Amino acid sequence: MRILNILNLLGTAYAITEQVSQELLDLHKNLILNPSITRNETLAVDFLSTYLQSKGWNVELQDVINKDINPDIKRQNIFAYLNDPQDVKMILNSHTDVVPPYVDYHYTTDEQGRDVIYGRGANDAKGQIAAQITAAQQVRSADPEMSKSIGLLYDLGEEGIFDGAKHAQDNLPPNLEYFIVGEPTQLEMISGHKGNMGFEIRAKGLAAHSSSPHWGVNAIEKLSEAILKLESVSLPHDELLGDTTMAVTKISGGTAMNKVPDEAVAYVNVRTSVPTDVTWQVLTETGLESEWIEIVLVDEPHNPVILDTVDNWRPVQTMPFGTDLFAWKHPTAKKMLIGCGSVSSAHKLDEHIYKDELVEGVDVYVELITGLLEGTLKTSTTKQEQAEQHKHVKDEL
């Protein structure tokens, strides 16, 4: 109800016409049709940078060098603005890369008569890019002066390696105040998301012929005992982000069918609601380690991220999974996370978004951009305030 009122107040200047709706769908379609699986984002980045230039945006391409990736593959972040980077106060951001495998574009109407678009990246995150650019264009045609404050930043490598976002930190505009990230959140604001860390349980044993197992120590059995012990570990809890969870996601061990294995390894993925060093301390004090078992932190740990939200606007939630907001270190810019569509189909073969979700995404982004830049929407920042707001929304639901 409140959204409708605000949109009415905004007036018809921002109303989405049939033509704008078609441009939104065309942009979304072309983004999906240009594959951009992480580490091979070139096609979608080339398409998008050309598209933005054709619309009159100044486009800067940032080469992202990653020593683990073939340097012959052109990998670039896109930063676009309308006037001067010094004028940019607000960045709209999402990521151009997608998870494998590629899923082709398919537009159809479901049994309820809703138009639905299938394809890799339909919601994570090419739907966000299409909605953000369309919103920025709407603001631009209604208020050219205001639109000079908007920058568009589309980084790559978000699905697991975060190299695009890390690289972009060195090239942010000097007067940045707001940083708005698009991921599929069903247009709810996200007040925080968990951190991410991984460790290995490494079991050692003594090799022996499998016909005489009592002469050896079976590393797979030792590893199995350690994995079962994980269930009794009490992990830290946070008032805002909830329980820290973990899952054994990879396992390997043994080399021959007739040999008692002397090595076995399991990988455990942890989604932590408290700083990673606190969680790691708990894990190392649980008695998992023994003469035969060692636990080793692998991969770069990422702390939970606390975000800014807008007072009395959209519903507020937390998220259990991560984004490349892990990499965003700007000391003063307000960081927000909101986008259209549902994460429930993201990364799946039936990834999709509804046309009406995309269109509503444009409306909500226009509302957020204009509200923040005009000062009619206010942000709330402290963790305590967020906890209260979050609780309030939960009570209402």
Figure out which of the listed residues 41, 97, 124, 367 binds Zn ion, where binding follows CB under 5 A.
124
316/189 Cα distance (integer angstroms): 5
DSSP 8-state symbol, 286: S
Question: Can you say whether residue 243 is alpha, beta or left, with left for phi > 0 and alpha for psi between -120 and 50 degrees?
Answer: beta
Catalytic residue among 41, 145, 158, 263: 158
CB of 26 to Zn ion, least distance (A): 22
- Helix, strand, coil: what percent of the chain each, to 5? 35, 25, 40
Residue 125 within binding range of Zn ion, rule CB under 5 A: yes
Residues within window 180-209 making contact with Zn ion, judged by CB under 5 A: 183
Specify the residue, 159 or 360, whose C-beta has the smaller distance to Zn ion: 159
Provide, rounded to whole angstroms, the least separation between the CB of residue 24 and Zn ion.
19
**β-strand partners of 131:** none
Using the contact rule CB under 5 A, the part of the chain among 13-21, 62-70, 121-129, 271-279 near Zn ion is 121-129
Pick the closer one to Zn ion by CB: 185 or 276: 185
With a CB cutoff of 8 Å and minimum separation 6, the contacts of 238 are 244, 273, 274, 304
For residue 261, is the peptide bond before it cis, meaning its omega torsion is within 30 degrees of 0?
no
Which part of the chain contacts Zn ion (CB under 5 A), choosing from 68-76, 110-118, 120-128, 244-252? 120-128
Catalytic status, residue 263: no
Say how far apart CA 284 and CA 100 lie, in whole Å: 35
**Smaller CB separation from Zn ion, 124 or 238:** 124
**HSE of 159 in the Cβ direction (CA atoms, 13 Å)?**
18
Least Cβ distance, residue 273 to Zn ion (angstroms): 20
Choose between 262 and 357: whose C-beta lies nearer to Zn ion.
Answer: 357
By CB under 5 A, is residue 220 in contact with Zn ion?
A: no
Binding of Zn ion by 238 (CB under 5 A): no
For residues 148 and 3, what is the distance between their CA atoms, to the nearest angstrom?
25
| Size of the chain, expressed as the number of residues it contains | 397
Contact 214, 342 (CB under 8 A): no
133 binds Zn ion (CB under 5 A): no
Question: Greatest CA span in the chain, whole angstroms?
Answer: 82
Question: What's the closest the beta carbon of residue 269 comes to Zn ion, in angstroms?
Answer: 17
Q: Give residues 164-183 in contact with Zn ion (rule: CB under 5 A).
A: 183
CB of 123 to Zn ion, least distance (A): 8
Distance CA 189, CA 319 (A): 10
CA 90 and chain centroid, separation = 19
Task: For Zn ion, give the closer residue by CB, 38 or 309.
Answer: 38
- The residue count for binding Zn ion (CB under 5 A) is 3
| Two structure tokens written together for 385 | 């305030």
Shortest separation between residue 121's beta carbon and Zn ion, angstroms: 9
| Residues at the contact surface with Zn ion, assessed by CB under 5 A | 124-125, 183
| Active-site residue set | 158
